[in-house]
Chain A
Amino acid sequence: MSTGCLSLVLHAHLPFVRHPEHPSFLEEDWLFEGLTETYVPLVRMLDRLEADGVPSPLTLSVSPPLCEMLADPLLRERYAERLDALIRLADEEAEARRGTPTQDAADHVAWLMRDTRQVWQECYGRDLLAALAHHQDTGRLELITVAGTHGFLPLMATDEARRAQIEVACANFAKHFGRRPEGIWLPECAFAPGLDRLLADAGLSYFFTETHGVTYARPRPRFGHYRHVLTEHGVAAFARDPECSRQVWSADEGYPGDPLYREFYRDVGWEASAERVAPIFMGGPRRGVGLKLHRVTGRVSLDQKEAWVPAWAFERAAEHAGHFLRSRQEQVARIADAMGAAPHLLAPFDAELFGHWWYEGVAFLEALFRQAATQDEVALTTPRGWLAREPVAQVVTPCASSWGDGGSYEVWLNGGNAWMYEHLHRAEERMVELANRTETPTALERRAMCQAARELLLAQASDWAFIVTMATVVPYAVRRTRTHLARLDRIHRDVLAGTIDEAWLSEVEAADSAFQEVDPRLWRSDGVRAPGAGAAVWSASAE
C-alpha cells in the first residue's frame, strides 16, 4: 500500500502561429521544434510503455491553439518539408563527422530525424492528436484542456470574455478528442476567486494553482498543499509541490544542468555554412535548427563544449529518474508521518521542458514510469485517480495567484505591457456588443461575428504580454496583438454600419483560421450567471 501519491502534469502550449502569406515564417519554428523534440517523443514514450505493459499515469494539458496547429494541413505540410530538410542536413553532418568526437552525437541526430519523420508520417499519419486520443481512450493518459487561447483570465474585464475562453476550450477539446474535458489548466496557473464558479458551470471538476494558491487559501488548509482542496462551487484545486519542481526545474539544483546532458545553445544552425542551412532558413535569419552535438560540459564558453555522448546522457537520465523517485519516497514517508494522512504531490511542468529545453527529459520520464512500476511506496496517479481515491477535502477559497515570477500577475501586467489591456478590454466590449446585437444575424453577419471572436481570442493569448516582459521577440508579439485588435475593430465597425467587405473578410478568415467551431453567442450577456467572478479588474464610468 502506497504512503502517498504523485501526479505528473505536463502543460503543452504554444501560441497560434500560422502565416500562409509567407512561404516560411520564423515563429512557426516553435511548433516544428516542439513536434520534433517534445510532442512526438512523448507519444513515442507512451507507445513504448503501452507495448511493454508499463502504467503511464500522465496528465497532459493540450492548449486549444496547439490542437489547432497540430490539426492544420498547411502546418503539417510545412513540418514535413522541414523534416526533409533537417534529415538532409543531419545526414551531411553525420558524414562529415566520421572519426571525430561528435560522431556518435551526429549519428544519433541523423537517426532521430529519420525516426521522427517515419513515426509522424507513417505511424500517426501526421495526426498526433489521434495518437494522443488513443492513449486517452485506453486510460493511459489523462488529457485536459487549457482556457481558450491561453488568455490570462483574471485580467479580462468582462464576465462574458472569461466565460467564453473556458467554453471555447471545452468545445475545442470535444472537437479534437471526442468528449468534454474533466480538468483544465488555467493559463499561467492564474487564479482569482470566483473563477471556480465559471469552471463549475462548464462542468470542469479540477484545476491547478501555484503553491500559495492553496497554502494562502481562506480558511487555512489543514494539510497545506499536500492534498487537494474543494472550492465552494465543488471544483477541486491542486497546488504545485515546490520540492518536486525544484529538482527538475531549477538551474542550480535541477537535473537538466548535468554536464553530460545535451547543450541547448550550441547548434549546427549557427555553425554550418550558409549554403547548407539555406533550405531551412529560406531567406530568414540564421538561428538554431535543433541539431545539437555537444554536451553541457560545465560553466565554459560554447566553443569549449565537449562532444555529447548519447549513451552516457541516457544512462544519467535513468539515474536521475531513480534519484527523483527515491526523493519522492522519502518525501511522502516524511509527510505522511507528520500529517497522519496520505499526501498527494503535484508536479506540473511545461511539456516543452522535456525534450526541447532538456533533451533527455523524455528519457527521464520514461525511466521514471518504469522504475515507479516496480515499487509501491509512491503511487503515480492522475488528479482524477486521486479524486476517486480521496474524495473528501477541506472547503476553502484559494488565493489569487499565478505561477509567474513572484507568484502574482506582474509578469503579465507591468509597465511594459499594461498598454495592451486598454485595447483588449475595449475589444472585449465590442465583441459583447456584437454578440448581443441581434438574435438572427444574416449569414454574412454571422461569419463576421465568428471572425471577430477569433480575432479577440487570438489577441488575448497571454504569450504576447509574456514575450514583452521577457524582451524576446517583442515586435512579433506587438504586431500580433495590434493586428488582431485592428481586425476586430474593423469587423465591429463594418457590422454596425452594414458594410461588411466579404472579400476582405475571406482574406482574414483564411489568415486567422483557428477555431472554426467558435460560436459568437458565447459572448452574449444573457448567459452571465456570476457577475465579477474570477476578475482582478474593476471598471466604472466617470461620475
Chain B
Amino acid sequence: MSSGERIRDAAPPVTSDEGFVDWGPALPGGYVGGRVRVMTASPRLVRAAWELARDPEEGWTVRAEGARGEELARAELPPHAREAWVRVPPATRGRLALHAGADRVAILPFETPADAPSEDRSERWASVGPDGRLQVASTPAGRAVERLAGPGGPSSGGSRAEVPA
C-alpha cells in the first residue's frame, strides 16, 4: 500500500452497525527503563520520545543543536509530556538533548535528509565485480541533466507546528 498521488481516493471505511469496536488487547501504558529515542520523520521534522521513571515538576526541555553546537530548536514541555515533534533544518547532522528541569537526561544524535540536490559534484564511477565489490571504471561520456529533471522532487516539510506535543 503506497500513498502519494493516487488515481482515486481510498474507499470509504466499511462500518458495522454494531456499537462495539474491537481494538484488540490493551498494551502497556509505558515500559520500565530510562529510554529516549529520536526518529526522523522528514527533512524538517524529528520526533523525540521518552520513557522515564518519573516526571520532573519543572517539566521537560528539548533542545536540538547543529554540528557546531548552535541551537536549532528548543521546546518547553509540561511534566506529563512523553514526546516532542521538533522542527529542524534539512540535511542536518545534529544532537538532541532532553532535560528534566535543569538536569540533562540524555543526548542523542540525529540526522535529517536533504531536500535539495547536493552541491557536491565530484564523480566516481564503478562497476560491480564478480565478488560484489566496486571496481573502478573510467568516467563515461555524457552531460549533466539537472534541467531535465523536471518536477521530480517531493513537496517538502509539511505543516506541522514546531512542538505539537
Q: Which residues of A contact B157 (CB under 8 A)?
A: 406
A469 to B157, CA, bound (A): 17
B1 contacts A13, CB within 8 Å?
Answer: yes
Tell me whether A423 is interfacial, beta carbon within 8 Å.
Answer: yes
Q: Which residues of A contact B21 (CB under 8 A)?
A: 475
Q: CB within 8 Å of B: which of A426-485? A: 426, 462-463, 466-467, 469-475, 478-483, 485
Tell me whether B102 is interfacial, beta carbon within 8 Å.
Answer: no
Tell me whether B67 is interfacial, beta carbon within 8 Å.
Answer: no
| Smallest CB separation, B35 vs chain A (Å) | 6
Q: Which of A217, A257, A403, A543 contacts B2 (CB 8 A)?
A: A403
A496 to B161, CA, bound (A): 43
Question: Nearest A residue to B126 by beta-carbon distance?
Answer: A395
Q: Quick one: which of A216, A257, A264, A414 has the most chain B CB within 10 A?
A: A216
B102-133 vs A, Cβ < 8 Å mask (1 yes, 0 no): 00111111110111111111111111110011
Q: Which of B15, B26, B128 contacts A482 (CB 8 A)?
A: B26
**Interface residue SS majority, chain A:** mixed
Tell me whether B19 is interfacial, beta carbon within 8 Å.
Answer: no
Tell me whether A525 is interfacial, beta carbon within 8 Å.
Answer: no
List the one stretch of B58-66, B71-79, B144-152 in contact with chain A. B144-152
List the one stretch of A117-125, A128-136, A225-233 in contact with chain B. A225-233
B39 contacts A536, CB within 8 Å?
Answer: yes
B14 contacts A414, CB within 8 Å?
Answer: no
Tell me whether A324 is interfacial, beta carbon within 8 Å.
Answer: no
| Smallest CB separation, B117 vs chain A (Å) | 5
Q: Which residues of B contact A225 (CB under 8 A)?
A: 149, 152
A251 contacts B7, CB within 8 Å?
Answer: yes
Tell me whether A200 is interfacial, beta carbon within 8 Å.
Answer: yes
Tell me whether B6 is interfacial, beta carbon within 8 Å.
Answer: yes
Question: Nearest B residue to A421 by beta-carbon distance?
Answer: B39
List the one stretch of A68-76, A102-110, A336-344 in contact with chain B. A336-344
B113 contacts A401, CB within 8 Å?
Answer: yes
| Smallest CB separation, A216 vs chain B (Å) | 5
A230 contacts B126, CB within 8 Å?
Answer: yes
A475 and B14 in contact, given A220-B118, A421-B39, A543-B105 (Cβ under 8 angstroms): no
Q: Quick one: which of A26, A243, A538 has the most chain B CB within 10 A?
A: A538
Q: Which of B23, B40, B51, B144 contacts A409 (CB 8 A)?
A: B40
Question: Nearest B residue to A288 by beta-carbon distance?
Answer: B11
B42 contacts A406, CB within 8 Å?
Answer: yes
**Interface residue SS majority, chain B:** loop
Q: Which residues of A contact B108 (CB under 8 A)?
A: 538-540
A188 to B1, CA, bound (A): 7
Tell me whether A55 is interfacial, beta carbon within 8 Å.
Answer: no
Q: Which of A218, A400, A473 contacts B13 (CB 8 A)?
A: A473
| Smallest CB separation, A489 vs chain B (Å) | 8
A234 and B39 in contact, given A224-B146, A251-B6, A407-B156 (Cβ under 8 angstroms): no
B154 contacts A471, CB within 8 Å?
Answer: no
B154 contacts A479, CB within 8 Å?
Answer: no
A479 contacts B110, CB within 8 Å?
Answer: no
A473 contacts B49, CB within 8 Å?
Answer: no
Total contacting residues, chain A, CB less than 8 A: 109
| Smallest CB separation, A538 vs chain B (Å) | 5
A357 and B152 in contact, given A395-B134, A401-B113 (Cβ under 8 angstroms): no
B23 contacts A404, CB within 8 Å?
Answer: no
Q: Which residues of B contact A474 (CB under 8 A)?
A: 13
A339 and B145 in contact, given A425-B37, A482-B26 (Cβ under 8 angstroms): yes
B38 contacts A538, CB within 8 Å?
Answer: yes
| Smallest CB separation, B159 vs chain A (Å) | 10
Q: Quick one: which of A220, A287, A542 has the most chain B CB within 10 A?
A: A542
Q: Quick one: which of B21, B36, B118, B154 has the most chain A CB within 10 A?
A: B154
A392 contacts B142, CB within 8 Å?
Answer: no
A390-415 vs B, Cβ < 8 Å mask (1 yes, 0 no): 01111100011101111111110111
Tell me whether B81 is interfacial, beta carbon within 8 Å.
Answer: no
Q: Which residues of A contact B51 (CB under 8 A)?
A: 422
A538 and B145 in contact, given A353-B7, A357-B8, A410-B42 (Cβ under 8 angstroms): no
Q: Quick one: which of B22, B37, B39, B141 has the most chain A CB within 10 A?
A: B39
A540 contacts B107, CB within 8 Å?
Answer: yes
A421 to B27, CA, bound (A): 12
Question: Nearest B residue to A474 by beta-carbon distance?
Answer: B13
Q: CB within 8 Å of B: which of A325-363? A: 334-335, 338-341, 350, 353, 357-358
Q: Which of B23, B37, B164 contacts A415 (CB 8 A)?
A: B164
Q: Which residues of A contact B120 (CB under 8 A)?
A: 218-220
Q: Which residues of B contact A288 (CB under 8 A)?
A: 11
Q: Which of B23, B117, B149, B155 contacts A407 (CB 8 A)?
A: B155
Tell me whether A249 is interfacial, beta carbon within 8 Å.
Answer: yes
Tell me whether A254 is interfacial, beta carbon within 8 Å.
Answer: yes
A220 contacts B119, CB within 8 Å?
Answer: yes
Extra 19 A-B pairs, beta carbons < 8 Å, given A341-B140, A350-B1, A472-B11: A200-B132, A203-B132, A211-B153, A212-B152, A216-B118, A223-B142, A230-B126, A285-B15, A338-B143, A399-B113, A403-B3, A404-B3, A406-B156, A408-B113, A418-B47, A462-B1, A483-B24, A539-B108, A543-B107
- Which A residues lie at the B interface, using CB under 8 A? 11, 13, 15, 26, 154-155, 157, 188-189, 192, 200, 203, 205, 210-212, 215-220, 222-226, 230, 232, 234, 236, 242-243, 245-246, 249-251, 254, 256-257, 264-265, 285, 287-288, 334-335, 338-341, 350, 353, 357-358, 391-395, 399-401, 403-411, 413-415, 418, 421-423, 425-426, 462-463, 466-467, 469-475, 478-483, 485-486, 536-543
9 contacts between A and B (CB under 8 A): A219-B121, A220-B146, A223-B144, A224-B152, A230-B126, A404-B2, A472-B12, A541-B36, A542-B106
The 9 closest A-B pairs by CB, nearest first: A407-B154, A542-B34, A408-B42, A482-B24, A479-B24, A341-B142, A400-B113, A211-B152, A219-B120
